[in-house]
Structure 1
Amino acid sequence: MTYNQRAYIETCLRSILDQMVDADVRVLVGDDGSTDGTGDSIRALVAEYGPRLVHLRRERNLGPFANLLDLLLRAEGEFIARVDGDDYWLPGKLARQLAYLRRYPDCSAVYTSALTVDERGRALGVFNDLGDAKLDLATLLRRGNALNNSSVLYRACHGTGWQAGEQIDYQIHLWLARHGWLGHIGEPLAGYRVNTQGSLVLSANERVRTLYWQAIQSVPRALVRDADYARGITDFLRRVCLRAARTRDWSLLRRWAGVVYAISPYGALRTSLLLAANLVRTLGRLVLAHLGRALGRATGRRVPAVLYPH
């Protein structure tokens, strides 16, 4: 998926097309009405790589979800990978994931960590610290989203039931987790650009927050215990707390706290205790990360910053 990403799209597409893998790979590019020359870059690559690369030029901007949905309806493979046009893959990524899914037939999808970089490609740190892990639906709900969307490879047979309405990546991860556990390779095998122009997280934070809540509510209650659901909505409220503290917008916290407390299966007191414990753990992780970086500087050892610590 791409829109006005001329500075990044060639790096993205070459990183996919140059993967060494024992499989037939076709790359569909949804160019969502770009006006900055992104299409020229894609057409030049089509001339170089041939029919493996399919340029789908939208005459008008569809928006990210409609663009994605159209791409998925056109996909015909046994496995599907998703990549945003400002991100990229590292060598060996696709082969590692294909081998993983073939080894574990009950695994629905496999993700990897990613290097985080700025708009110019300068190294910032890593996307998460999950390491090599297996995540079931309950774990993903309790912990919240720390999966890198541009790293996913999943079985196409599991990727159809969620195709309705606007939603964020977390809702798709939760859907895939309903059909098997999710694998995570701790080694960074993708590159993720932080806060690039057009980022939905950066430009429409409240919209993303509403869609994140929608993602949690999309999980049928019959599939998870009250304890997992309560921890999931409490983790959501922790994120709201941190956002309210950063922006000094306490009305944000009051509004969402009312929503969370109204539906929590644990009641106000126990939910408050869960929230407090969650915040303490978060602050503890932040302090430890700060101390680790300070110690690394003192000893001449670089400690990478983690964008989504867990």
Structure 2
Amino acid sequence: MTRPVISVCVATYNQVGLIERCLRSILEQEVVADVQVMVGDDASTDGTSEVLEKLAAENGSRLLHLRRARNMGAIANISDLLGRAQGDFIARVDGDDFWLPGKLSRQLEFFANHPECDAVYTNAITVDASGMRCGVFNDVGDEQIDLARLLRRGNFLNNSSVLFRAMDRPGWASSIEQIDYQVHLWQAQRGRLGHIGEPLTAYRLNSQGSMILSANAHVRELYWRAIQSVPRDLVTDDDYAHGITDFLRRVFFRSVRTRDPELLRTWGARVYAASPYRTGRTTALVVANIMRMMGKMLVGQLRGRDHRNVLYRR
């Protein structure tokens, strides 16, 4: 068997205190593959570029530092990296996240055992600004996920954990603004998604520049756009109805946390208008989603720290 090549695409901007840990966690992976790392440095001004120059000098051809002459923005930056990737497999990582030992080898093993899968994700630990562990990203085990399941349960996949076959690189290499969920849904249209339940990635909470913190309303619009991007002939009305009512469940909890009933009223009207079902059945689905999540949260409280501190429950 030919030794595979893995191209790792890392997008970064002004992450001087974080980028070295991210890159070393990639370069230190013990895996039977040639790992090539490409870093899109989006015209950083805080010393990130100097850190990258040092690491590039240390690692030679294994690390390519692409220093942008001007700020391109996150979508254009990662799209350019994907377009340059030459590996048999492609991974992408946000510059403030990092990998844990054994990640790539476990994913290649998964691909060898599951040729029907086009991408494989792993669970992640969540860490704070100092890198201290806080909990886990999701409550999903070792599974294969199809488009219908991903639509019905919403986003629970960690973007910095993905490894996918180069022939199925996402159709997101464009200037169109998208969120991670839309990319995951696109991948699921190409084939099944594998998920390794063991946390093999670290996801940094509340990082600087997080859209969830700085533009929560905009992210919500993009999430809704992601749901609408799924071709309706690929899923049933029931799949779609579960997807939009799960979305409204998320809005409900956000409305409660922020004490903003108008948020729920506004999105409730949009969800009910889009639902393929009548009001009563749509309401039953919304309530069922809320109760399901409350039950999961209660069980998590009883089972201990990692089960209690789950960022995304499915």
Q: 1:177 aligns with which of 188, 213, 217?
A: 188
Give TM-score, length-normalised by structure 2: 0.94
Contact 2:143 2:195 in 1 (8 A): yes
Q: 1:118 aligns with which of 128, 152, 165?
A: 128
Contact 1:231 1:274 in 2 (8 A): yes
- Cα deviation for residue 110 of structure 1 reads 0.2
Where does 1:1-310 land on structure 2 (aligned, <5 Å)?
1-164=11-174, 165-293=176-304, 305-310=309-314
Contact 2:31 2:105 in 1 (8 A): yes
- SS of the residue corresponding to residue 91 of structure 1 reads coil
Q: Give me the whole-angstrom Cα distance separating, in 1, the residues matched to 2:257 and 2:134.
A: 21
1:258 aligned partner, one-letter code: A
Q: Give me the whole-angstrom Cα distance separating, in 1, the residues matched to 2:218 and 2:307.
A: 33
> How many residues matched?
303
Contact 2:144 2:192 in 1 (8 A): yes
Which deviations, in whole Å up to 9, do the C-alpha atoms of 1:160-193 show, x marking residues without a partner?
A: 4333311001111111111111000001101111
- Cα deviation for residue 281 of structure 1 reads 1.1
Q: CA 1:303/1:261 → structure 2, altered by over 3 Å: closer, same or farther?
A: closer
Q: Give me the whole-angstrom Cα distance separating, in 2, the residues matched to 1:276 and 1:96.
A: 38
1:224 aligned partner, one-letter code: V
Contact 1:124 1:304 in 2 (8 A): no
Contact 2:99 2:202 in 1 (8 A): yes
Counterpart residue number, 2:5: none
Contact 1:107 1:182 in 2 (8 A): yes
1:261 aligned partner, one-letter code: Y
- SS of the residue corresponding to residue 18 of structure 2 reads helix
Unaligned 5+ segments in structure 2 are 1-10
Contact 2:251 2:267 in 1 (8 A): yes
Q: Give me the whole-angstrom Cα distance separating, in 1, the residues matched to 2:290 and 2:307.
A: 24
Which deviations, in whole Å up to 9, do the C-alpha atoms of 1:215-267 show, x marking residues without a partner?
A: 11111000001110000000011111111111112221111111111111012
1:25 aligned partner, one-letter code: V
- SS of the residue corresponding to residue 70 of structure 2 reads coil
- SS of the residue corresponding to residue 25 of structure 1 reads strand
- SS of the residue corresponding to residue 22 of structure 1 reads coil
- SS of the residue corresponding to residue 157 of structure 1 reads helix
- Cα deviation for residue 304 of structure 1 reads 5.8
Contact 2:138 2:310 in 1 (8 A): yes
1:156 aligned partner, one-letter code: A
Q: Give me the whole-angstrom Cα distance separating, in 2, the residues matched to 1:203 and 1:303.
A: 27
RMSD, aligned CA:
1.3
- Cα deviation for residue 291 of structure 1 reads 2.9
Contact 2:300 2:308 in 1 (8 A): no
- Cα deviation for residue 305 of structure 1 reads 1.8
- Cα deviation for residue 103 of structure 1 reads 2.4
- SS of the residue corresponding to residue 94 of structure 2 reads coil
- Cα deviation for residue 303 of structure 1 reads 5.6
Q: Which runs of 4+ in 1 moved over 3 A?
A: none
Counterpart residue number, 1:299: none
- Cα deviation for residue 142 of structure 1 reads 0.4
- Cα deviation for residue 33 of structure 1 reads 1.4
Unaligned 5+ segments in structure 1 are 297-301
State percent identity of aligned pairs.
61
- SS of the residue corresponding to residue 141 of structure 1 reads helix
Contact 2:139 2:307 in 1 (8 A): no
Q: CA 1:244/1:110 → structure 2, altered by over 3 Å: closer, same or farther?
A: same
Which deviations, in whole Å up to 9, do the C-alpha atoms of 1:27-58 show, x marking residues without a partner?
A: 11011111110111111101111111011111
